[in-house]
Structure 1
C-alpha cells in the first residue's frame, strides 16, 4: 500500500535524521579519522636506491583534499609488515612556496593507530604543519631507510665469485588512498641485472628499471616484484656498539667505542687464499672489505685502535679544524659471515662540547649514531658518564630511544658518577645527529679529588715523619 500524502513529510524527516545520525557516528569513529576519506594522491613518484648495502627510498606525493571534505591535519603512509621490521628511519618534508621561493618544511612522522590497514600493514601519520584545506593540493617529500632488506642469493659464494642479491617490493606504492598516477624507479649499482619482474609497462635503461606509469590504482593496491642483481659493496654490520663518553671538567672528553663487526653478505665457502686475494684484488674477494672509514669530530687527540691481541698500527688519521677521518684496517679482510672485534678510543677538548643553558644547567652537545660510514648498527648503547656530583641528568634525543641511569666508578671516586645510558636498535647514518645531555653540577665537587690527593700525601708524610722519630729497637736490661 502506497504511503499517504500526509505521511510523506514525516518519512522524509525521519530519513534525513537517520542520515545525519549515521554521519555523526562515522565522524566520531576512531577507525575513520577526519579528513582521511577526502584525500587522494594525484601523482606519486618512488625512487629506490639499491647502490649500497642499505636500501634508501625517496617518495614524492602530490596530495589533494576533496572539495567537499573537511580540513586534513595529517596524511597516512603505509608499510608492509616486512618493511616495518627493517624500517630504520622515516623523514618527511612539505614543499611551500613556488619556484625560487620554494622551501621544504620538516614534518613529524608518527605511528598511527587511527585506522586499520589490511594484510597486517602498518600506518604512519605525517603531521601537517598547517591543515590541508578542502580542494587544496600540496607536495610531500618522504625519505625512509630499510636495513637487512637485500637477500644474498646464492647464500654462499667462493672467494672468486661476485655477490648477487634479491630485493622484493611493489611496482605500485602501498597507500590507503586512491592514487591517480604513479611510477617506480629502481637504481642498481651496476649493469649486471640477472632478472626482474615485469609488470607492464616496465622498461630498463642500464642499471635502472622503471615500473609505470600506472593510473587509477585503488587504495591498498600491491603488485609484488623481485629484482636479482649484482651488489659487491661491503655489507658491514655492527652487531653491537658500546660507546662510553666520559666528561671531565678538567678539560677533556674521553670516548671509547667497542665494536662487534661482521660481514652481512653472502657467506664465504671454500678455502681463503691470501696470495690470490693480494694478486687479483679486483676479482678475488670482490664483495669483501679490508678497511673501514670512521668520521670523528674535529680536533681529536690521543687516537688509538686495538683488538684483543693489542694495538693495530694499520690506521691513518686525517684531522683539521673541520673534521677528522680515521681509516683503519682489521688484522684480516672480512668475507661473508666473518666477524671481528676491536676498540677505538680518542679524546676531545671539553670546550667544544660542554655549554651552559639559560636556566643555569650545563649540557653536553654530542653526536648520536655510529662514526663508521655505510654501516648498520643492530644494537647501539651510548653511556654518558657525568662528573661526580652531577644531579638531575636529562638526555634530549630527537627520536625514540630507551634510557635509564646507572652509576659508574673510576679513580678517586667516592659516591660514583651518574651515567646516562641510551639504547637504540637498527641505527643507520641518518641517525648521526646532535643530542644533548643536561645536568646540574656544583663547582665545589671539582675540589674533591685534589683534596683527596693532598690528604693522602699529607697522611703519607706524617706517617713517614712519625716512623723516623720512633725508636723500635730492643734494648738490653741493666743488671741491678
Structure 2
C-alpha cells in the first residue's frame, strides 16, 4: 500500500477515551455457553405484546421484534432466551437487543447457548442490564438479519425478465415464552406479490394488505414454540450481492503521516441465473432506457472526506472504468466491473485509497499512548444492500507499538495480535487481526477504536536502521574503492 500524506478530514473523538478504557465491548459469536442437554428455558417471563417486522426491501431479510415482556416469577430475573432453528443459527447475523424505551442503556449482552447439538432448536441468551423485578415490564427491541436466506423462483430467467424471490417464515413469531398478543408485518419492495400463504383465524383472515405491506394477525394467546409456516414470492428486480470473504487492511504510518486502506473482495451475485448466454448487444441496447436489472452494473464507495489516491484492480489488472470525486464535502468512488455481473457470476477485486493520519489519530495528553478511530466496515453502499459472510480486518500499527487494546460495537468471532514484516523492518510491525461473520451493510461506518503505546525510541528505530544501512553501504563502497587491485610488474 502506498504512503502519501495528503488530504483533510474531520473526525470526532468525543467518546474515544471512555471507549478505549473499556477495551473490547463485544462478545465473540463463536464462544457458546454450554448447558445440559435437558435444558429448557425457565418460564420466568411472558410476552404481553409482540410486533414482528420483516423487511424484504433489500437483498437480505432484516427482522425486528418489539416485545413487551413481564416477569411472572417470584424473584428478579435477568435472562431472556430467543429460539432459532439450527439453520437460522448458521446464517443469522448482527443480533442486537436493547431497551426500546431507554436507549441510553446501550446494547444488552447476547450469547449463543449450546445445550444439545442434535436438537433443531437453539437459543440466544439475553442478559438484561438490571434484573427485572416481579410483575415488572420492559420493552425489548431485537434486531437481526439472515444471510443467503432469499431464493429466486424460477432459478433461471431471461436477460430482460423480472426476478421473483421466495422467503419462508412463521406468522407466529417463535418464542420460548407464552405470547398473549402478537402480529407480523412484512414489508416488500413493491406491491407485486403474486404468491403468499393465507392464514385463517385471528380477528380477520391474514394477511391484511396495505400497498407493499402485509400484516398477519393480530393473534391472541400463542403457546411456547408455536409456528405457522408462511411462504411468500415477490418481485425483486435487483442483484443479490453476497461477499463470501472481505479482507480489509488499515496500515498506519507515523513517519509518513498517512493511513492506507485496502480491501480485497470475493464477490458473488446470488440472483437468478441466465436462461441463455449473455448478449452484449442486448445489454448495450438496454442501457439507453436504463431498466432495472439483476446484474451488478456499478459499485459506489462513499469514502471519508479527505480520502485521496484511490486505485481499483481485479484479477486481470487495473480497471480504468471508474470515477472519483473528492472535495470538502464528499469523497465518492464509483467503479464499474469489467463486465455486468449477472446471477451466478463472481467478481473478485481489490480497492484501496489513502488518507491523512491526523484526521484518524490523536495522541493522549499524558504518556506515550495513541488513539486510532477508523470505520470497521466501509465498502460499497448499494440501494439493494450487501451481505458479508466472512470479514477479516487487520490494523497494521507502526513497528514497536505495544499494549494494544480495541473497542467496537461489531460482533466478532476472534481476535489476534501478531507481527507483520515489510521492508526495512527489524522485528516487524504490530498487527491487530479481527474476524467477524454474517455481517450486513447496516454495520457500515461503525467505529473501531484502537489504543496503543508508541515509545519515542520505537519511533526512532526505522530512521536509525535506514541511517545505519546507508552509512554501512557508503563505508563498504569506500572500503572496496580503496583496495588497490592494479597489477604492477617486477622491477
Q: How does 1:317-336 map to 2 (within 5 A)?
A: 317-321=324-328, 323-336=330-343
Query: Which residue matches 2:47?
Result: 41
The one of the two structures with greater contact order (alpha-carbon pairs below 8 A, sep at least 6) is 2
Query: Which residue matches 2:32?
Result: none
1:278 aligned counterpart, secondary structure: helix
Q: Distance in 2 between matches of 1:274 and 1:95?
A: 51
1:366 aligns with 2:377: no
Instruction: Find the structure with the greater CA-based Rg.
Output: 1
Q: How does 1:34-433 map to 2 (within 5 A)?
A: 36-66=42-72, 69-96=74-101, 105-111=105-111, 113=113, 120-200=120-200, 201-202=205-206, 203-250=208-255, 251-281=257-287, 286-321=293-328, 323-356=330-363, 360-373=368-381, 374-398=385-409, 399-432=411-444, 433=446
Bigger CA drift: 345-354 or 284-293? Answer: 284-293
- Unpaired runs of 5+ residues, structure 1, are 1-28, 97-101
- What do residues 413-438 of structure 1 show as CA deviations (whole Å, max 9, x unaligned)? 12222222222222212333212333
CA spacing shift, 1:354–1:50, aligned 2, 3 Å: same
Bigger CA drift: 418-427 or 448-457? Answer: 448-457
Q: Distance in 2 between matches of 1:294 and 1:221?
A: 43
Shift of 1:224: 0.6
Q: Is the 8 A contact 2:109 2:128 kept in 1?
A: no
Bigger CA drift: 227-236 or 423-432? Answer: 423-432
State the TM-score, normalizing by the size of structure 1.
0.84
Bigger CA drift: 390-399 or 108-117? Answer: 108-117
Q: Distance in 1 between matches of 2:408 and 2:103?
A: 25
2:456 to 435, 440, 443: 443
Q: Is the 8 A contact 2:91 2:146 kept in 1?
A: yes
Q: Distance in 2 between matches of 1:382 and 1:83?
A: 25
Q: Distance in 2 between matches of 1:247 and 1:188?
A: 43
1:265 aligned counterpart, secondary structure: coil
Q: Distance in 2 between matches of 1:231 and 1:125?
A: 34
Q: Distance in 1 between matches of 2:386 and 2:482?
A: 67
- What do residues 304-349 of structure 1 show as CA deviations (whole Å, max 9, x unaligned)? 1122333222222233456532211111110001111211111121
- What do residues 122-144 of structure 1 show as CA deviations (whole Å, max 9, x unaligned)? 22233222332222222222211
State the TM-score, normalizing by the size of structure 2.
0.83
Shift of 1:32: 6.3
2:180 aligned counterpart, secondary structure: strand
- Unpaired runs of 5+ residues, structure 2, are 1-36
Bigger CA drift: 52-61 or 86-95? Answer: 86-95
Q: Is the 8 A contact 1:277 1:285 kept in 2?
A: no
Q: Is the 8 A contact 1:263 1:334 kept in 2?
A: yes
Bigger CA drift: 394-403 or 346-355? Answer: 394-403
1:145 aligned counterpart, secondary structure: strand
